[in-house]
Amino acid sequence: MAFTEKTRSIFTDEIQRIRDDGLYKEKRFICSQQDAEIEVEYPEGAPHKRVLNFCANNYLGLSSHPEVIKAAHEGLDTRGYGMSSVRFICGTQDIHRELQNRVSEFLGMEDTLLFPSCMDANSGVFEAVLGQEDVIIADRLIHASLVDGIRLCSAEYDTFKHMNTDHLRKKLEHHQDKRTRMVVTDGVFSMDGDLAPLDEMVALCNEYDAMLLVDDSHASGFIGKTGRGTHEHFGVMDGVDLITTTFGKGLGGASGGCVSGRSELVELCRQKARPYLFSNSLAPPIVSASIKVIDLISKSTERRDKLEWNTGYFRKRMGEAGLDMRPGETPIVPVMLYNARLANDMARDMYAEGIYVIGFFFPVVPAGKARIRVQLSAAHEKEHIDKCVDAFRKVGEKYGILGLGKDEIIARYGT
Ligand SMILES: *Cc1c(COP(=O)(O)O)cnc(C)c1O
């Protein structure tokens, strides 16, 4: 018996430390489709509760859209369940090619390569494209999957202060001796919902001969006038060299990701990116449904327009109710509470009111910046948003935080 009691206790101790630090992630079960209204079993074993979901990345409300489900069925019926192969052996169907072409067209890029997830795209892209003679200069708050991908690459790694283009300029100047420079950022940062200043960043990349990679996972499908993403929002569709994004958020919510951009860079990923070479192909039903998603959002901006309206309406009503939000324009709305326990307690009380939201605190966000992150969806109706705001008003009243700003909340609850 190799897994002795002594060995086991090493790991039970570690789990206990996670609990002691208040960082333990509870099990929660959704017992319905993913939608504006869901059935939740929480805590484990409790009776199902119908709640309004305000914490999914289901931005366009497509996770359970009838046409998307139908397209998945069609993919299943015509191309089968799975590929039993990685892409380059016998795992590429005509529909994989079709989805790649449709994504290139939608994002305004030269070529696209599908990956099992955006985490995989980010894990593979840097090592495939860059080497020791290059440098990566990344925003300090980029997504964990980009950080992991950069660690797998032998290029020098440098960072600039979050969204600080003056600092980025200094770093670009400093690295002019490298073979190439690649600037890396999220398009929309998932915790604060803020938009990277791509117009300024593209100008800097042009001035200092650098490539720009944007992870647009929290933007593809709904940011920008026709939902192409952060590069459309800032009017720099031609200035971004690589986009990585996911099909697991706004674009249907199942799974899959891609690298899209300059054809030579995408080709190098096809030749060398390890998650592309060594992990299974995206399943046909997902590919087929993702093509349908691109169809739907290319034909009409109705869903991203509704999401924009919902976001504006929610922010306005929450402001009137006296809650302290981080300003912004994306469907990620951080309700700032600063104190971890307060964020947790309020999220629990919101759940009792039938609103599903989650408290975020260190280490997911910096210490002293605890919050409830609300995410709007095109699946929300006005009544859903009204109910959510009413619940925030009621729970906010209970904790005496309505109308209070940062300093006052911290004075009362600490950080
Ligand atoms: C969610 C997310 C990912 C991971 O996407 P998956 O397809 O779920 O692996 C990568 N980058 C960013 C910025 C994300 O928000």
pLDDT tens-digit map of 273-330: 999 999 999 999 999 999 999 999 999 999 999 999 999 999 999 999 999 999 999 9
Question: Could you state, in order of their start, the residue ranges of all structural domains in the chain?
Answer: 25-54+302-413, 66-299
**Ranges 17-21, 209-213, 363-367, most confident:** 209-213
Q: What is the pLDDT of residues 232-256, one digit of tens each?
A: 999 999 999 999 999 999 999 999 9
Instruction: Indicate which residue of 143, 218, 369, 380 is catalytic.
Output: 218
Task: Give residue 408 CA to ligand 1 midpoint distance, Å.
Answer: 35
Question: Quick check: is 218 catalytic?
Answer: yes
3-state secondary structure of 242: strand
Helices (H), 227-374: 230-233, 263-272, 274-278, 284-299, 302-321, 340-352
Q: Which of 103, 125, 143, 214 to mutate to test the pocket of ligand 1 (most atoms within 8 A of CB)?
A: 143
Token couple for 269: 């990923």
Single pTM value for the model = 0.97
Fold of 66-299: Aspartate Aminotransferase; domain 2 (3.40.640)
Query: pLDDT of 46-97, one tens digit each?
Result: 999 999 999 999 999 999 999 999 999 999 999 999 999 999 999 999 999 9
| Contact status, residue 307 vs residue 59, Cβ threshold 8 Å | yes
User: 405: left (phi > 0), else alpha (psi -120 to 50), else beta?
Assistant: beta
* DSSP single-letter state for residue 109: -
Of the candidates 400, 393, 414, 408, which has an alpha carbon nearest to the alpha carbon of residue 350?
393
What's the CATH fold of domain 25-54+302-413? Aspartate Aminotransferase, domain 1 (3.90.1150)
In the residue annotation, 249 being an active-site residue is answered as yes
| Residues 143, 140: Cα–Cα separation, whole Å | 9
Distances (CA, A) of 163 to 38, 67, 166, 212, 234: 36, 38, 9, 14, 14
Q: What does the alpha-carbon distance between residue 127 and residue 158 come to, in Å, rounded to a whole number?
A: 16
Structure confidence at residue 293 (pLDDT): 98
Q: Which residue owns the Cα nearest ligand 1 atom 14?
A: 217
* Mean pLDDT along residues 357-362: 93
Active-site position among 104, 117, 190, 290:
190
Query: Peptide bond before 66: cis, by omega within 30 degrees of 0?
Result: no
